[in-house]
Structure 1
Amino acid sequence: MSVAKAEADGAAAPVAIVNRAGAGAFVVLCDHASNALPARFGTLGLSPADLQAHIAWDPGALGVSRRLSGLLDAPLVHPTLSRLLVDCNRAPDAPDLAPALSEATEIPGNRDLSEEDRAARIALVHTPFHAAVDEVLDERAARGLPTLLVSVHTFTPVYRGVSRPWQIGVLYDQDRRLAERLISALKSDSSLTVGDNEPYAPSDGVYYTLDRHGQARGLASVMLEIRNDEVADAAGEEAWAHRLAALLAEAGRAVSASEAGRKKTN
């Protein structure tokens, strides 16, 4: 199915591409942008409060991502459906792709999914999302545009009873080109507690999207996790987007200059 097509039942397309022709250096990804569920899935047995909570999406992440897209002239790719249906930032065979339990909340509609049900959910949003990312990256490569990837997430201030002190975490795997520069810049602000591969790390299985589209292509990549009380309203989203846009632009220029210098010496 083309990523631009709507579902056959008339629902909105499962993936959105914003500013597709953006010519800035970055592409922004937001795996957990939405808490929406197609009507045929009901509420998965959850309450309205559950569907507003962090188990269903990353509150504030899409607002920050949209602002970054504008500030950096960056394409933005995101699913339009909840990660409770299928988590686009997990491998298709991951045990928590469609979790029956998220933190302490049971998700009745995900209990005892058949292989057919699981495959249908992957086909509905997981496959189109990753196809859309590939399309955008391939288009940019064909245009000769350099590309750096940033994936935007948010996290809850308290998880399983444990408080998390970081206002922002920077996650990375083997490729540290962007991460090291961002961590250094963020830590220069004494008002911030910055997570270095905290509150998650690739070893937690949360780096699938960037591993698939960034590291596999040799693109400089970084995952940002903002504590969601920092972006609980439009003002918070705006403030963090402006802070991060400036730091990302600076880090991106440094990475590009370093790569250009390396090529000259080879």
Structure 2
Amino acid sequence: MAFAQPDRRQQRPGLVISCEHGGNQIPAQYRELFSDQQALLDSHCGFDAGALCIAKDFAKSCAAPLLSSTTSRLLVDLNRSIGHRRLHGKTIAELPPTPRQQILRQYYQPYREQVERLVRQAVLEHGQVLHLSVHSFTPELEGKVRNADIGLLYDPCRVGELAFCARWQADLHNCLPHFQIRRNYPYAGKNDGLTTWLRRQFLADVYIGIELEINQKHIVKAGRRWNALRKVLTASLCRVLVNSCLENTHTSQ
């Protein structure tokens, strides 16, 4: 059953930051299975490079709770539903059901439950929540170059998500005029994922689920440009959040 909080006592939405692919660690009990796969773990298949760094920036600047995982998606992908063919990497997918179920109990379910608790608490306190899930993507996949620097993923059927991404895209265009800022690219926001699952738990007027995708070509270069981009993204998010708050206040008067 979807959860709704009808009494919107405060105009400012709550904010929850999450990062599902923040690292490429493998728990000790499973490391032997990945003993010859370090290159894969270090690649985009193992984790989202730079995503956790940005998520921490956002959480600190916006004074928002951050839930993150540094366990590799090759063990279990926290951004996939149970039953999805890519819930586990190949090594784990080939294991018998019992160890796979243990991985879900130990790493997957607690994370999902904690995200839901944070979102639910923000709805109770603020009447509405913006959940921002931070990711990064490889510049090239299966021989195709991704034509974007930053992607904003959302469900276009949800008015609040569409409106927020339109505002954020416009602000980012002003800050980064040479960047390609695209919506629902390189993935569709309605695809299987954590935000899609949470949309089934919370109604559209209380839950705004957005995924930020950053092209890893900007992260690999690191140095001053990467640090500058982090500051721009953080300032832009804070600015759009404030403007959204003001817009809601004016609308309610």
Q: TM-score, structure 1 length as denominator?
A: 0.78
What is residue 93 of structure 1 aligned with on the other side? 83
Matched, 1:70 2:70: no
Following TM superposition, by how much is the alpha carbon of 1:214 offset from its aligned partner in structure 2, in angstroms? 5.3
Picking from 31, 36, 43, the partner of 2:25 is: 36
Classify the secondary structure of the residue corresponding to 1:246: helix
Higher deviation after alignment, 213-222 or 122-131: 213-222
Letter in 1 for 2:231: H
Equivalent position amino acid for 1:32 in 2? H
Which one of the candidate residues 176, 181, 184 is aligned to 1:197? 184
Percent of aligned positions that are identical = 25
Q: Which residue of 2 aligns with 1:256?
A: 245
Find the residue that maps to 1:118 and give its secondary structure. Answer: helix
Correspondence for 1:187: 173
Matches within 5 A, 1:1-266: 25-42=14-31, 44-45=33-34, 46-100=36-90, 109-144=91-126, 147-173=129-155, 174=157, 175-188=161-174, 189-205=176-192, 208-213=193-198, 216-217=201-202, 218-232=206-220, 233=222, 235-264=224-253
CA distance in 1, matches of 2:17, 2:80: 18
Contact 2:16 / 2:132 at 8 angstroms: preserved in 1?
Answer: yes
Aligned-residue RMSD, C-alpha: 2.4
User: Match of 1:176, SS?
Assistant: helix
Look up the match of 2:9: none
In the superposition, relative to structure 1, how do residues 171 and 144 fare at CA in structure 2: closer, same or farther (>3 Å)? closer
Displacement, 1:24? 8.9
Q: How far apart in 2 are the matches of 1:172 and 1:77?
A: 20
| Structure 1 unmatched runs, 5+ | 1-22, 101-108
Q: Distance in 1 between matches of 2:247 and 2:171?
A: 17
State the alpha-carbon separation in 1 of the partners of residues 131 and 26 from structure 2.
27
- Cα deviation code 1:26-67 (max 9, x no counterpart): 211101011000111125344322211110000111111111
Report how far residue 95 of structure 1 moved: 1.1
Q: Aligned equivalents of 1:234 and 1:64: distance in 2?
A: 14
Cα deviation, residue 204, structure 1: 4.2
Residues 97, 117 of structure 1: alpha-carbon distance in 2 compared, 3 angstrom cutoff: same
Distance (Å, rounded) in 1 between the aligned partners of 2:56 and 2:212? 14
- Between the aligned partners of 1:195 and 1:48, the Cα distance in structure 2 is 32
Given that 1:25 and 1:252 are in contact with CA atoms closer than 8 Å, whether structure 2 keeps it comes out as: no
Count of aligned pairs: 232
Given the two structures, how large is their TM-score scaled by the length of structure 2?
Answer: 0.81
SS at match of 1:81: coil
Distance 2:165 2:212 in 1: 9
Secondary structure of the corresponding residue to residue 89 of structure 1: coil
Task: State the Cα distance separating 1:202 from its structure 2 match.
Answer: 3.0
- Indicate the residue corresponding to 1:9 in structure 2: none
In 2 relative to 1, CA 93–130 (structure 1 residues): closer, same or farther, beyond 3 Å? same
Which SS does the other structure have where 1:44 is aligned?
Answer: helix
- Return the alpha-carbon distance in structure 2 between the equivalents of residues 72 and 251 of structure 1: 11
Counterpart of 2:116, as a letter, is D
> Kindly tell me: are residues 237 and 88 of structure 1, through their superposed partners in 2, closer, same or farther at Cα, counting changes over 3 Å?
farther
Alignment-mate amino acid for residue 31 of structure 1 = E
Residues 90 and 97, structure 1, Cα contact 8 Å, conserved in 2: yes
The higher-RCO structure (CA 8 Å, 6+ apart) is 2
Query: How far did residue 156 of structure 1 move?
Result: 0.7
